A and B are shown apart, each in its own frame.
Chain A
Amino acid sequence: MIVQNDDLKLKLRAFLNNATSVQQKTDIDLLSLILRERVEKPVIYIGTSTCGMVAGAGKTLQTIKNYLEEKEIDAEVVEVGCIGLCSVEPVLDVQLPGRARISFQRVTADKVDYILDGILNNELPVEDVFYQYAQTKSEPWPKVPFINQIPFFANQNRIVLKNCGIINPEDIVEYIAGGGYRAFVKTIRNYTADKVCSIVEESGLKGRGGGGYPTGQKWRTTLMTADDEKFMICNADESDPGAFMDRAVIEGDPHRVIEGIAIAAYAIGAGKAYIYIRAEYDLAFKRMKNALKQAYDFGVLGSNIMDSGVNVFISVRQGAGAFVCGEETALIASIEGRRGMPRNKPPYPAEHGLFEKPTVVNNVETLANISSILDNGPQWFSSIGTLTSKGTKVFAMSGKIKNTGLAEVSMGTSLRDLVFTIGGGIKKSKRFKALQIGGPSGSCMPESLLDTRVDYDELKQNGLMMGSGGMVVMDEDTCMIDIAKFFTDFLQKESCGKCIPCREGTKRILEILRHITMKPGDEKGHETLERFKGVMQLESLAGVIKDTSLCGLGRTAPNPVLSTLRWFRDEYEEHIFDRKCRAGICRELRTFSIDVDKCTGCTACYKKCPENAIVGSPRMPHFIIAEKCIGCGICFDTCKFVAISVS
């Protein structure tokens, strides 16, 4: 790694000040060395963001270091962020002098010796090779696909994720050499705040956190509000389970986010900004703190930045674990040190926000787009995407899909392409059943809607929402009632309790859903009817919650139920009338029986049954009384003779 000495700092500052005039050969050489377009000794890259670590990158890294030390090999080890394809982590890249950077997949600690033995001697360990990078200044490896030939990457358009998994997120030098902070310096030198708002307005950028409100307009409202102090907040409280793009961006390219915040703060006239990072993201918090320190040291944050007279101070706050804090007024309350509860809007935070001052709250992904927009101009940005939705969107794909991970696509890409081309289709060649999009309060959609394109309006027309970009794919083994129950349970627990429709309504919905998935206590004729009545009530209850809740969480809380009711009504009917769960997920609807030939009468199940639903005497076959059985499955787990069968 290049030492961050004063000479280098001066050179890079000069580069930032006048980016176009790097003509001296030594400077060009220096930049290409920093960017690792050419390397002087072998470089080993390993993805160590949270997903990599979970897959075992920590052990791989340690093994690599031991290997290099043992064999006394002079090589540089670089920790990078996540390239986006979680299902093949840990990903290890090697770049030899003069050769293209090449990637290996699923490099667990035990494979390190084998791979390094091969590659460091210029021999390819073929089976673990994934792809290579197209680098003009180095010789490519024969018979290895380039990164843009892999379907997962070929169909993406990476703007926000451009550097993720490529550069070292802990070194500001690499970000600057790649063109980072250039847009910010250009902005504070050449543009008025008003002009910045206009550029962002012109680009057509909309909020990526879920709301889809035009970002430039939000900024202008705040800029126009007269006050002695204003605040900028970056919302990194990515609390949607199933979404992790904000984490990946912060872990993989924190300076891009900082630059976006700094430009936004300048555009609205704020001197102080906050980044609110979710409690569970330890690594993101650490990397962001480190990145901020470097930015202050380098002089792209702080007072009188690059002698322009502009001051921007950014501090980072860690959330404390509350889903609703993703809502902007709740987030503001949380930063102020209060319970994170939303309040009535208007007045909007643009006028009355943090400490009663005008405040802009923007999502991480929104802000990560800003530097590219100012660098390349609004026309460049608005040329990507559809008529009303511009730019790209990052999706976090998980669930029963082959390629799980992060994919950034241009607006207008169809969901089918996302699932089947980029995502690679369904795992274990099962059948696609549903796609859940937009986080817990989003919707489940059936296959017939898969041709919908990624576009704020088109999604809305089909009763879906973009949300923050979480996408969970479900196959035939998933029970849709169970999914609706899971989300409602989540939303009910995360409801802050301030307004009654959300607090009580979600609880009642959950009760009805539980009732549907439970065995009836006693078999009366009208019970099916009662349960059916519950479903009818679900619909009217959902309507009330939707219309009368205070904040976005409440207003969208019935979505999981409404969407599953709309598209998977037959499954509800099956649960109610036939008491059957076709996916076999709703445990309490299962029926158990004992095979008299296999039962030895050991009485183990008899003793464990919590409902006394098993009868029989020792050493004689036992029986289950169906009416008493609650379907808990304890007997099934207890039986050592596989005498109990489930259907």
Chain B
Amino acid sequence: MGRSIKELLENQPNLSRDRLIPILQEIQDENGYLSEEAIIVTAEFLKLPTSKIYGVATYYDQFRFEPRGKYHIRICRGTACHVEGSLNFLSELEKLLKIKSGQTSRDGLFSLDIVRCIGACGLAPVMDINQEFYTGFSIPDLSRIINTYRLKV
């Protein structure tokens, strides 16, 4: 964890309502998720009720309220990936990691998220683990890929 949330808030150019989403994004970039504390502190700074902040944060898919795993997996569920069978890949990943999308495994190693579209539809199916991209994989490849990450620890 880098800067504290307070520091981050004090460095903002202004504290108007329209800065709310960028601020939440910065906090998430720094910490990987939005903790309860982060939301309370932000509310104090922006002089907004915490309920409003939760209201905004839960509306958008990007914000997480659970810490990310060491390896963050994003699997694309866009149209082109769906046509190439991404639903099967997702359920295989859920089976392999024993978590559902949006969750983090108990050992804190993996977290799984669905992304609506990475924008690389020409190469579908697409998945990324900590910004490392995988494409054109099949079901047996998945357990191999996951195992290489397990062995890295």
Contact = CB atoms under 8 A, between A and B. Distances in A.
Contact of B120 (A51, A85, A320, A399): A51
Interface string B81-99: 1110000000000000000
B119 A474 contact: no
Contacts of B61: 279, 320-322
A646 interface: no
A241 B20 contact: no
Interface in B54-74: 55-56, 59-63
A216 interface: no
A470 B135 CA distance: 20
B59 A86 contact: no
Contacts of A478: 83
A55 B123 contact: yes
B42 to A, nearest CB: 11
A340 B60 contact: yes
B43 to A, nearest CB: 13
Given A336-B18, A338-B56, A472-B83, A398 B119 contact: no
Interface residues of A, number: 54
A486 B82 contact: yes
Interface string A230-250: 000000001111111001000
A436 B121 CA distance: 14
Interface string A303-333: 0000000000000011111110000000000
A50 interface: yes
A244 B121 contact: yes
Contacts of A490: 116
Given A55-B135, A322-B59, A470 B19 contact: no
Contacts of A239: 116-117
A53 B131 CA distance: 10
A105 interface: no
A318 B22 CA distance: 7
B62 A339 contact: no
A323 B116 contact: yes
Contact of A337 (B56, B81, B115, B120): B56
A527 interface: no
A321 B116 contact: yes
B62 A398 contact: no
Interface in B112-153: 115-124, 126, 128, 133, 135
B40 interface: no
B5 interface: no
B79 A242 contact: yes
A172 interface: no
Contacts of A486: 79, 82
A430 to B, nearest CB: 12
Interface in A372-403: 396-400
B80 A472 contact: yes
B25 interface: yes
Contacts of A339: 55-56, 59
Interface string A108-144: 0000000000000000000000000000000000000
A440 B79 contact: yes
B17 interface: yes
A413 interface: no
Contact of A54 (B24, B56, B62, B120): B120
Contacts of A496: 59
B127 to A, nearest CB: 10
A355 B18 CA distance: 10
Interface of A: 50-51, 53-56, 85-87, 89, 238-244, 247, 279-281, 317-323, 334-340, 355, 396-400, 404-405, 436, 440, 470, 472, 474, 478, 483, 486-487, 490, 496
Given A320-B61, A321-B62, 18 more contacts: A50-B119, A54-B123, A86-B121, A241-B77, A244-B119, A279-B62, A320-B24, A320-B60, A320-B63, A322-B61, A323-B116, A337-B21, A338-B56, A355-B18, A396-B122, A398-B121, A399-B79, A399-B83
